[in-house]
Amino acid sequence: MSGSTFDEFLRQRSMLLNAGSYEDAKANFRWPPPGEFNWAVDYFDKYLAETATNPALVYINDELYRAGDSRVFSYPELRARSNRLAHALSDLGIGRGDVVMVMLNNRPELFETFLALMKMGAVIAPATTLLLPADIEDRAARAHFKAIIADPEIVSRINQIRDRLEKLGVKYFITLGKPSPSWLDYYELISGKSENFQGVRTRTDELLLIYFTSGTTAKPKMVMHTHSSYPIGHLTTMYWVGAKPGYRHMNISSPGWAKWAWSTFFAAFNAGATTVVYDYSGRFSAANHLKVLENYGVDTLCAPPTVWRMIILEDLTKYNLEKIKSFVSAGEPLNPEVIERVYKATGKYIRDGYGQTETTLMVGNFPGMRIKPGSMGKPAPGYDVVLVDEDGNPVGTNKDGHITVRTSPRPIGLMVGYDDENKNKEVFRLGLYFTGDVAFMDEEATYTSLVVQMTSSSQVTIGLARLNWKVTC
């Protein structure tokens, strides 16, 4: 084990899971100290896989949905499967610090890949499967990928620029199956590999994840996270979601966007919950997702506002949603009528929250708090959030200001920075991190966004790939 970092991670996790109130959680939470920590080895393999009795993953695709079936993976099974992949990638020559682009849909292999790369000390660069060749090339040039692991449907797109990618340093091209002779077959690579893998002793400050923001108004920013900022940092997201050990948690999000790592992966597993994934094809169907919630025993649900607005178009009285204990949403304030419709049907309020690709959950309506419709809540444990003017002066209550986070002490859930030093100087100044968004704080220190569509292009983005549109969360 990694000593004090791991031990304190477990202590703070337990405190948040058992906190009697938001006030208790805020007062008692402390970020674990720096040190050696590899979440996939120390926590997932050596703790969860040894102690959890519930499944890690319930996987549903369209075929399984029509049959009323699912594929269920235990924590020990995901440990073994990811260890086989870690051996396979290590045997190729991929190792500590190497950057691997991952373009996989919401399937078990994605979970295996995240875990394997983390155990190896490699750097994960998730990407949406919607990327065009020019986007892929730009990211390869900036992040210096050594390998790409992609779904078969993307192979032809990558092949259009393969020569240029190889010149940029991409050495290995891996896909699920073998649609092209020039690609390595994921399943052949892992065949016969050992289910035991030692793992790398990583430091909390080592690079783990590279995300690219949506880039709606400018070139996408490259956001860098460490072995602590997302794995440990998402304790705040776990607390907000309301997941508990043994719960079934579902997050409606496409991989490649940071919100998948936020809620489908780290928040669910930090809680020791079961993550439920519906890997649908075609257009998004609110009715199908409601049936998944009903038929697969989901306890907690995270969905973006656009999805909630689609959900209330359905007759919610047709579905048995009584088992669901918690609904959360983030990205923009929900209309009061959306919250009210869900409340009338279920007796539970949707709890808003706020965060970015650059951070974990920073502000939220946490379990047990009184809900103010349209409000994104109060600062998360571990975050010192303050509204300021252009000069960094606090604006006080009943005024609007820039949403910032004090960086002394620096919250673990905050990114290392961008690959653009000018941009870093812009957002990290005056002892603050400037989010780029604006909010209003009332006399109860509850924050309300002033803008329906957040001003920053760096908002955590969920790409609903099959819909050909994106929503922020």
Q: Which domain holds residue 465?
A: 4-472
Answer yes or no: are the C-beta atoms of 169 and 98 closer than 8 Å.
Answer: no
Pairing between β-strand 274-279 and β-strand 248-251 as defined by DSSP bridges: parallel
The tens digit of pLDDT for each residue in 20-63 reads 999 999 999 999 999 999 999 999 999 999 999 999 999 999 99
At position 385, the amino acid (one-letter code) is: V
For residue 34, the domain's CATH number is 3.40.50.12780
470/306 Cα distance (integer angstroms): 9
Closest-CA residue to 208 (of 108, 137, 268, 120):
120
Q: What is the DSSP string of 360-382?
A: S--EE--TTPPP-TT--BEEPTT
182 vs 461, which has greater pLDDT?
182
On the question of pLDDT at 2 being above 80, the answer is no
Handedness of CA 333, 335, 336, 339 (dihedral sign): negative
On the question of pLDDT at 378 being above 70, the answer is yes
426/36 Cα distance (integer angstroms): 31
On the question of a cis peptide bond just before residue 409, with omega within 30 degrees of 0, the verdict is yes
Q: Find the mean pLDDT for residues 159-170.
A: 98
Chain CA centroid to CA 354, Å: 13
pLDDT given at position 152: 95
Please tell me the total count of domains within the chain: 1
pLDDT band at 468 (very low <50, low <70, confident <90, very high): very low
The tens digit of pLDDT for each residue in 89-134 reads 999 999 999 999 999 999 999 999 999 999 999 999 999 999 999 9
Answer yes or no: are the C-beta atoms of 211 and 223 closer than 8 Å.
Answer: yes
215-219, 264-268, 368-372, 431-435, range with the lowest pLDDT: 215-219
429 Cβ neighbours under 8 A, 6+ residues apart: 392
Task: Report the half-sphere exposure of 442 (CA within 13 A, side-chain side).
Answer: 12
At position 324, the amino acid (one-letter code) is: I
- The β-bridge partners of 186 are none
Average pLDDT of the residues of the chain? 92
- Nearest 5 degrees, angle CA 15-CA 255-CA 107? 95
The tens digit of pLDDT for each residue in 239-256 reads 999 999 999 999 999 899
pLDDT band at 216 (very low <50, low <70, confident <90, very high): low
At position 121, the amino acid (one-letter code) is: G
pLDDT given at position 445: 86
On the question of pLDDT at 214 being above 80, the answer is no
Joined together, the tokens standing for residue 91 give 């045997």
